Amino acid sequence: MFVTVITMTNKRVVLRIFRTFAWLVAMLPKAILADNDHHMSLQLIEAREILPLQQILQVLDEVRVGAILEVELEQEYEGYQYEIEWLDQDGRVWEYKIDAISGIILEQELED
DSSP letter for each residue of 22-50 = HHHHHHHHHHHHHHHHHHHHHHHHHTTSS
Per-domain boundaries in the chain: 7-49, 50-112
The percentage of the chain sitting over the pLDDT mark of 70, rounded to a whole number, equals 66
Which region among 30-39, 48-57, 64-73 has the lowest average model confidence (pLDDT)?
Answer: 30-39
What is the rounded CA–CA span in Å between residue 49 and residue 40? 11
What is the rounded CA–CA span in Å between residue 20 and residue 22? 5
pLDDT tens-digit map of 61-105: 777 778 888 888 888 888 899 998 888 888 889 999 999 999 999
| Contact by Cβ (8 Å): 81, 97 | yes
| Contact by Cβ (8 Å): 94, 111 | yes
Close Cβ partners of 64 (under 8 Å, ≥ 6 residues apart): 86, 88, 94
Per-residue pLDDT at 42 exceeds 80:
yes
Q: Is the pTM above the cut of 0.85?
A: no
| Contact by Cβ (8 Å): 89, 65 | yes
Per-residue pLDDT at 41 exceeds 60:
yes
What's the pLDDT score for residue 100?
A: 92
The rounded mean pLDDT for the chain is: 75
Is 50-112 assigned to CATH 3.30.70.100?
no
